[in-house]
Amino acid sequence: MIQVINPATGEHLRTYDELSPEKVSEIIDDVNEAWYSWKEVSFDERAAHMMELSRLIKKDKERLARLMTEEMGKVYSQGISEAEKCAWVCEYYAQNAQEFLKNEPKESDASNSYVAFRPLGLVLAIMPWNFPFWQVMRFAAPALMAGNVGILKHASNVPGCAAAIEELIKRAGFPENVFRNLHVGSDQIEDIIANEKVKAVTLTGSTPAGKSVAAYAGKNLKKTVLELGGSDPYIILEDADLDLAIEKCVTSRLINNGQSCIAAKRFIVVESIADEFEKRMVEAMEAKNMGDPELEGTDLGPMSRKDLREELHEQVKESVEKGAKLLLGGEIPESDGFFYPATILTNVPKAAPAYSQELFGPVASIIRVQDLEKAIEVANDTEFGLGAGIFTKDEEKGREIAETRLEAGCCFVNDFVKSDPRLPFGGIKGSGYGRELSSFGIREFVNTKTVYVA
């Protein structure tokens, strides 16, 4: 049984039956069969379905936002934005997929040689709860436009979101079984990956989950793309525009109730401005309104699950025990639901969880450093490498640091890290490998085929 719990109230909402292994195998057969005709469909026809999907998402965005709020506690206004972004990625690939995948002529000894990009087949998507529509659509839009088919194993606490995605794709006129949702637990993943009809796997989730899936996939020689955790560093230099830096840093740390792999998590501040930065950050985070995520004016909703809140609180407590100083928050409120307040730790030592671990909630870690060189050293002193930011009025210096010195897949200057359909997205080190979005993302799950005509 898959149960839905409202994280704002702790109330049980509904229950879904898990699919049996036999039913899962049947669905995989049906989806694989659908691929043989879908891969031959023209880009124009695929694009027509994808544009209709975009239209339906826009039309239903209020319903979809309420579903996100209900199942994982997303602030309603942020759910609206997530739905709109899903519509955008559908439009983007409808308009650009054919160009991204057109044949590329290559010089060789042949009279004619070129590279063709052909779909792989059935792709398994293992997706998380924190952006329950966006994470799926940023995979599904390019995969379907490339001529692949998909099956979705979504997080168990957002089954309604998973069902809604399948329903929307069907309503958009995509052929039967081109995309199917699987209500299953993680105990079936290994067998699903091993199924010979599954050609590739994409996962967004924790680093341990990524390692596990990569092991299963490697054992079965299946292509993988992994977008995993992050402990994103934001460097604040002495010449930074502090008004801008505070606005961007607080937004990034609290967006999605602090539950984002690319949220700013470690704020590495040059000592000469650290006091002022801390003062302003406390004021800004203290002013944010925590409450019912369905209500207008709420900035910070609940965490998605009780166990995740408990894990975060233990990380905060241990960090304080190891020497970090608590500037704000850090106490579980006496209220229904799984709320955790905006929290700030400073003077975070290397031994503290807040220095090295991913804190997946509304907790900011401030680390003071003497100069730029130390800031870069601390920023890169992590197993993760998803995103990073730097704030400085010297844009050329910021660009050079972002490009050449920060060890992350996405490096932003004077803004917070975000995904954009037009730009490749993904990490290095413990944050995974492969890329989503842009032309790079759609080419992850194709056969890059050499054609040689003597």
Catalytic site residues? 227, 261
Q: Are 384 and 376 in contact (CB under 8 A)?
A: no
Length of the chain: 454
Q: Sign of dihedral through CA atoms 408, 411, 416, 417?
A: negative
The token duo for 368 is: 């003071």
For residues 15 and 438, what is the distance between their CA atoms, to the nearest angstrom?
A: 37
Q: Are 308 and 405 in contact (CB under 8 A)?
A: no
The contacts of residue 208 (CB under 8 Å, 6+ apart) are: none
Q: Are 416 and 391 in contact (CB under 8 A)?
A: no
Instruction: Decide: helix, strand or coil at residue 377.
Output: helix
Of the CA atoms within 13 Å of residue 43, those in its CB half-sphere come to 15
Least Cα distance to 445 among 430, 433, 434, 431 occurs for 434
Instruction: Decide: helix, strand or coil at residue 415.
Output: coil
Question: How many helices (H) does the chain have, and how many strands (E)?
Answer: 15, 18
Question: Which strands make up the sheet holding 387-391, listed edge to edge?
Answer: 325-328, 343-346, 363-369, 264-270, 232-236, 387-391, 410-413
Query: Which whole-number Å values give the CA distances from 217 to 124, 136, 224, 291, 385, in the listed order?
Result: 11, 20, 7, 41, 22
Inter-axis angle of helices 159-171 and 61-72, nearest 10: 160
- Compute how many other C-beta atoms are within 10 angstroms of the C-beta atom of residue 273: 18
Of the CA atoms within 13 Å of residue 148, those in its CB half-sphere come to 31
The token duo for 294 is: 């369905």
Identify the helix (H) or strand (E) that includes residue 64: helix 61-72
Q: Are 414 and 392 in contact (CB under 8 A)?
A: yes
Identify the helix (H) or strand (E) that includes residue 343: strand 343-346
The token duo for 411 is: 């490096």
The token duo for 131 is: 């952006």
